[in-house]
A and B are shown apart, each in its own frame.
Chain A
Amino acid sequence: MSAATVAAREVTHAIATGKSRDRNVGSLVFLAGLWFSLFFGVMVLVVLIVDTLIDGSARFDIELITEYDSILHPEAFGFRAGILGTVWVMIGTALLAVPLGIAAALYLEEFADNTKWYNRVIELNLQNLAAVPSVVYGLLAVATMALIGFDSTDIIIGGAIALALLILPVIIITTREAVRAVPQDIRQGSLALGATVWQTTWRQTLPSSIPGIATGTILGLSRAIGEAAPLLMLGVAGSVGFDPTSPTSQFTALPIQIYSLSSSSREDLRVAAAAAIIVLLVMILTLNGLAIYIRNKFQRTW
């Protein structure tokens, strides 16, 4: 940690905890503003979650995850197909996006010649891609599926392609940050001992950047898990009564079921949707918890 970081941290700490000696009106107002912003952001989230919890509380039972969707017995509406579909699609997404994303980031960071115009174009496009609305990736996936030669797009591979395209820029950008954070000394040391660039990257840089890569990847995946829009573009079903069995199975995903149920005229189905939102939140929190665990376990300091 550099001296500047330490100093900045101390000052922030002193101000935030009110221990600073030079407290004037301006800094207090600023501090209050900061706390208010924090409070506002957190409160909105808390209110949303609590509200959904209350709405869905009637449906935290085993049928919620073991049963298929049901119009005849809305009180036992289950999300088995959606949960399994989401898990399958997330696995597919990770298999597609992680190797591609890491490889692309390593190329850009370690091998690419930044003075070449095409590398700068790629870089610029990556930044732009990260800001593209998710529906567009649905269209992109439809086109990709047609190119590959699939007849139907509403299958697990289609969902995985759409979501992988969606999070690829995020993974590339976070991986680049992680790779860049590995000190230059490590690379130079490795090169000085006679390792090639490839050996240095594979044996030194990449292992050292695992915490950052894992965090970025899992945060990307937990963004993808909640996406309904790109899947809707693929025509993914909202109601299926079977488990996915292969990458070419038709499926449904939790966000799609939630989207379709929340506009239902029936109270029972809207309650089921609220309960499903909690299920989805638990899945996302589990992923994020995993990210934190991996980051802490592999964290290194130089």
Chain B
Amino acid sequence: MKRMTFRRAIVPGIAAAALLLTGCSGEDDGGDGGDGESSDISGSVTIDGSSTVFPMSQAAAELFREEAPKVEVAVAESGTGGGFERFCAGETDISDASRPIEEDEVAACEEAGIEFTELLVATDALTVVVHPDLDVDCLTTEQLVELWKPGSTITNWNQLDPSFPDQEIALFGPGTDSGTYDYMASEVVDPDADEPATRDDFESSEDDNVLVQGVAGTEGATAYFGYTYYEENQDSLKALAIDDGNGCVEPSAETARAGEYTPLARPLFIYVANTNYADDEAVSAFTDFYIENLTAIAEAALFIPLSDEEYTETQSALEGIGS
């Protein structure tokens, strides 16, 4: 049921996008917006930002290409922080982000006179994985914090819980530049610090495949990364359920959408520059298309689509840009 309402086929999606276009844009583009033909629109859309969200925007661009072949969409992946830097310098139209924009970035945008709108586009379940032979199935949030907090001295699983096996822990994690690390540090492990961090004595790599191999090949190893990397490597990894006070919850599309997989279900965003949306037909057509087909795009990019309520919120945020 839910699926049916959300998984719009592309053609009706486009029609809806066109409708939305004509609906929001008052007199400024009433002339060409009237017929609702997005295939006539030309122009360019520049996107940069998180490498986690990159496949999403890439899929959106690919789908949009079939509908509006004259619009040139370029998607880069400088990372969430790097993306905001360019976004607030006015170089990009849309910024992908795997975390909400930070205060200093907001300040930079304000200084440059760039107003933006945050759109929630998908959910990712940060997945804590361990070597498949390890006899641990569930961690409480406290134990996770205990394990990863800065200066943590835990080196053996049985230090976390006496019932856990006597096995040395090998830690793997994403590099400190990644939004994944930022999320773990600022939302889970160290939320109160000025500069949130995790412990630093872990093997880090910007390439999550390296983390997968590291955990799969090291007894007692653990790591955390985006859900898709676990999904694609289920044979060689074991995902831990997380107990945030309401019992152990396995990471999955269902639990993340239902809001049960806390605190590791993290939101993924795109940020749209308001002026570019209002003035540039290509940007507004692309953004509308993106949001209209959000479920299809998220599924194509192997992300967890938004729940109904979240989707409605995103839609109203989009409608708010024009006004």
Contacts and interface: CB of A to CB of B under 8 A. Distances in A.
A262 to B, nearest CB: 7
Contact of B75 (A70, A239, A265): A239
Contacts of A235: 48, 76, 78, 82, 86, 91
B74 A252 contact: yes
Contacts of A232: 78
A237 B59 contact: no
A69 B63 CA distance: 11
22 contacts: A69-B58, A69-B62, A151-B90, A151-B91, A154-B74, A235-B76, A235-B91, A237-B74, A239-B58, A239-B74, A239-B75, A241-B65, A250-B46, A250-B72, A263-B51, A263-B207, A263-B208, A264-B55, A265-B208, A265-B231, A265-B302, A266-B228
Contacts of B229: 265
Interface string A52-90: 000000000000000011111000000000000000000
A240 B57 CA distance: 11
B300 A72 contact: yes
Given A69-B62, A232-B78, 12 more contacts: A72-B63, A151-B90, A153-B91, A154-B74, A154-B76, A237-B76, A239-B57, A239-B58, A239-B76, A262-B209, A265-B232, A267-B232
Interface string B218-243: 00000000101101110000000000
Contacts of B226: 265
A260 interface: yes
B76 A241 contact: no
Contact of B76 (A236, A266, A267): A236
A259 to B, nearest CB: 9
B61 interface: yes
Contacts, number: 91
Given A250-B44, A262-B207, A265-B209, A71 B74 contact: no
A72 B58 CA distance: 9
Contacts of A72: 59, 62-63, 300
Interface in B52-77: 54-55, 57-59, 61-63, 65, 72-77
A75 to B, nearest CB: 14
Interface of B: 44, 46-48, 51, 54-55, 57-59, 61-63, 65, 72-78, 82, 86, 90-91, 206-209, 226, 228-229, 231-233, 300-302
Interface residues of A, number: 28
B125 to A, nearest CB: 13
Instruction: Find the residue from B57, B72, B209 having the highest chain A CB count within 10 A.
Output: B72
A297 B268 CA distance: 58
A154 B46 contact: yes
Instruction: Find the residue from B77, B228, B301 having the highest chain A CB count within 10 A.
Output: B77
Contacts of B44: 250
Nearest to B45: A250
Contacts of B62: 68-72, 241
A176 interface: no
A237 B58 CA distance: 10
Given A263-B207, A266-B232, A238 B55 contact: no
Interface in A63-120: 68-72
A260 B301 CA distance: 14
A152 interface: yes
Contacts of A71: 55, 58-59, 62, 300-301
Contacts of B74: 154, 237, 239-240, 250, 252
A240 B58 CA distance: 8
Contact of B46 (A152, A263, A266): A152
A68 B233 CA distance: 27
B159 to A, nearest CB: 31
A237 B302 contact: no
